[in-house]
Structure 1
């Protein structure tokens, strides 16, 4: 509860604070449409959902919308091919690009024993890897140029990690992450060439992963497949992106709100993101005031909590501090809007208490409502991305098929999936195709519901005035 009561940051926190691999990225502006372009890590991942939730709670006056343009298994080539149908239609004011995990052609890094079906490594392995990199950079360049031509602000993201060092059941291919680091370095050069922005996930995630594995060899920021981050990894990615936007310049997003009161002087009251409204009562044994909460805390879910030991998100982005000095010694009950919130001693209040850990405040509960709406929007968006996956990654391979003939479309898709019958991803692709036909009739309705949810989130996030009281609690007799 005390201001100095944060969990100690993990060993790597100081590195992440140093800005290694980072660059300034402009914060999103009000009324922007933001597009996150990528592969499966964007398609099914939550880093962009967290970024949007941060904006919805920290900047409730902004009417930002964002859209997921990730497709499982995609590459820069595939993304370029779907540009007009799946990216340009959103007319994004800002667009981020995070590709590379599939472009790197991970099969080119497998040892002979890891290759299935007796497939042989070719003698020109290094040239194949170089060709893969060249294809990636060529088509990333083309994507940049198309986005710039339509007036988008472009942010390149160095790809998240392939974990080849964790002690996991799945054998690790060696050299993939080093190659992804080279991809990130090339992206940084492209950003300089085109005068656009760049933030690297790969370098800080690699170093954080390394430090985690010093303590626990099986620890990883990604999943058992060594590729896809879970809730913790995506939270770290969100932090890295927000850090690049807000902690590289003069903008300091440390505090959601701050209230400092001298109980001996009614005129000595300072607030941040919480301007005073109306009358106040400031006495050494009683405090009453009202303020308008301009920002809300970011509610961290249980599955994201381990990430707080890895990156200083709470310390740097999510403090809500109440400090009251010169109170009469004793215990004080905090009420907000006549609701009992917590009890603190005069000494704790003088030192400063961080209300973030108190989840029954009206501000935190308001943020939870926004989070729940955002989760609902995210789930609908994921369904749309599943439709897009089939449409642009599978069906696009059969231009001769009449797209209005559902029987012909189904036959083509099932035939396509059967080509992967002996592959680990066969059941996934089959499920995607089956879901495609279930979801297709409701595609327009889902898009309309997402737009409605954007409006609802903006309404729920509107600032409110809250009434605060600190009342001295008399000790019980006897």
Structure 2
């Protein structure tokens, strides 16, 4: 049977239309930006690297200072040693009870079982991750898939790890984790999830640092990034979330002998047209992190990439000028520097920097004194539910002088069921209440203030 050209053309058009419609039904747009509004909750799901309460803390600092008008609930749900399957067991109580709008998932370091590539191991990881993300979606939670962080083979070859260093050369464990990460990217693309490449960022900046020091590492034990490594993870996650990168911008231009003012992300007031003097209240504070992460903060140019705070003055006469904020000279700059724009976000002399640092220091205290204890209690619960795990740890090291281990032994006597019924919820509730009080205090000190600016000629 012969078909006319018109029939064939119509058939192909119809098939193309059906294909397009099916594609629209099966695939979603890539998530471009995390949209958190006042009252929303964000949860970090993870293992020991999340349990460390470091990259999570730096991301919290960012949100507390960039969006001070939005009261957010940010929850750490990391438990040391967890596989994706372990997260599934605690998902309802530890994650979904908070009714999050978004949840990031940093799982995989343990799932590879510190072994060479193995199809069975990967298929278990894949199965559990698919179930985990689907359960989140079913609960109206938007997942963000984070690649596993790096296994620092350099450190492992030095024996700075629990894996037998004789096995390291042929294990290629970092390549296993990279494959897990590539699968996360594939799933994020197919399903429209959020995504951040922590593995790629850590690999890149480790290579950058080793151009000057061949033995440099962000990860002394090959697995757990220390503070600087965790800051790099935070940068990767924030950029993957598509956060707003501008703190504020002030521009003053001289026209026909008078100063004209404009600003972004803030409110100008009391501007003087004949002198460089004005008040300004920004909508945000700069992103400031504690001193223990400053090396990576500078290495990644995190301040400029994720928190530009600029003052620009065009039309000054040749010379140098003081920038003064609330009667404090925060810097002296040439007329050319001011015309290009001076960045203030990493200037410790500004009132707004000191205010943001106070936020970071209080949040660090909150994480060390409260959040880590919440995560430790979840780890204790896992140990009581699986005593064989603790027995392995007891065989590997002497825990006789550890007060937390002594508490574990006492609780083991009363049994897992009684512990969960009589003690666990009470401890968690008390700690969460303390955390809320400290978050309320953060929201009292993170509110931007109206500051008085002036630019005056420096003495010759």
1:163 corresponds in structure 2 to 152
1:73 is aligned to 2:65: no
* Inter-partner Cα distance in structure 1 for 2:362 and 2:34: 23
Contact 1:45 1:234 in 2 (8 A): no
Question: SS of the counterpart of 2:429?
Answer: helix
Contact 1:258 1:271 in 2 (8 A): yes
Aligned counterpart for 1:29 among listed residues 22, 25, 36 = 36
Measured at CA, do residues 215 and 339 of structure 1 come closer, stay the same or move farther in structure 2, by a change above 3 Å? closer
Greater displacement, 158-167 / 360-369: 158-167
Measured at CA, do residues 342 and 216 of structure 1 come closer, stay the same or move farther in structure 2, by a change above 3 Å? closer
1:209 corresponds in structure 2 to 206
Aligned counterpart for 2:226 among listed residues 215, 225, 230 = 230
1:350 is aligned to 2:350: no
2:194 corresponds in structure 1 to 197
* Inter-partner Cα distance in structure 1 for 2:71 and 2:364: 18
Contact 1:25 1:199 in 2 (8 A): no
Greater displacement, 51-60 / 158-167: 158-167
Measured at CA, do residues 350 and 187 of structure 1 come closer, stay the same or move farther in structure 2, by a change above 3 Å? closer
Aligned counterpart for 1:51 among listed residues 59, 66, 74 = 59
Contact 1:43 1:68 in 2 (8 A): yes
- Displacement, 1:435? 5.9
- Displacement, 1:154? 0.9
Contact 2:290 2:360 in 1 (8 A): no
Aligned counterpart for 1:179 among listed residues 158, 172, 176 = 176
* Inter-partner Cα distance in structure 1 for 2:401 and 2:202: 29
* Inter-partner Cα distance in structure 2 for 1:43 and 1:81: 17
Contact 2:80 2:379 in 1 (8 A): yes
- Higher RCO, Cα 8 Å, sep 6+: 1
Greater displacement, 36-45 / 163-172: 163-172
Contact 1:417 1:429 in 2 (8 A): no
Contact 2:282 2:450 in 1 (8 A): yes
* Inter-partner Cα distance in structure 2 for 1:316 and 1:331: 27
* Inter-partner Cα distance in structure 2 for 1:154 and 1:60: 24
Measured at CA, do residues 337 and 146 of structure 1 come closer, stay the same or move farther in structure 2, by a change above 3 Å? same
2:446 corresponds in structure 1 to 461
- Displacement, 1:214? 4.4
Q: Which runs of 5+ in 2 are unaligned?
A: 1-29, 412-422
Question: SS of the counterpart of 1:181?
Answer: helix
1:281 is aligned to 2:254: no
Contact 2:62 2:287 in 1 (8 A): yes
1:100 is aligned to 2:108: yes
2:357 corresponds in structure 1 to 368
* Inter-partner Cα distance in structure 1 for 2:363 and 2:55: 13
* Inter-partner Cα distance in structure 1 for 2:322 and 2:184: 54
Contact 2:31 2:192 in 1 (8 A): no
1:295 corresponds in structure 2 to 284
Aligned counterpart for 1:320 among listed residues 301, 309, 318 = 309
Q: Which runs of 5+ in 1 are unaligned?
A: 1-22, 110-125, 398-412
Aligned counterpart for 2:322 among listed residues 333, 342, 367 = 333
2:27 corresponds in structure 1 to none
When the two structures are superposed, what TM-score results if normalisation uses the length of structure 2?
0.81
Contact 1:263 1:287 in 2 (8 A): no
Measured at CA, do residues 40 and 25 of structure 1 come closer, stay the same or move farther in structure 2, by a change above 3 Å? farther
2:405 corresponds in structure 1 to 433
When the two structures are superposed, what TM-score results if normalisation uses the length of structure 1?
0.78
- Displacement, 1:67? 0.7
Deviations, residues 112-162 of structure 1 (Å, cap 9, x unaligned): xxxxxxxxxxxxxx6xx2222111111111111211111111111111111
Question: SS of the counterpart of 2:284?
Answer: coil
Contact 2:31 2:193 in 1 (8 A): no
Q: Equivalences for 1:79-94 in 2 at 5 Å? A: 79-94=87-102
Question: SS of the counterpart of 1:296?
Answer: coil
1:421 is aligned to 2:428: no
Measured at CA, do residues 104 and 429 of structure 1 come closer, stay the same or move farther in structure 2, by a change above 3 Å? farther
Contact 1:332 1:345 in 2 (8 A): yes
Measured at CA, do residues 194 and 346 of structure 1 come closer, stay the same or move farther in structure 2, by a change above 3 Å? closer
1:304 is aligned to 2:293: yes
* Inter-partner Cα distance in structure 2 for 1:24 and 1:195: 6
Q: Equivalences for 1:394-409 in 2 at 5 Å? A: 394-397=383-386
Contact 2:259 2:272 in 1 (8 A): no
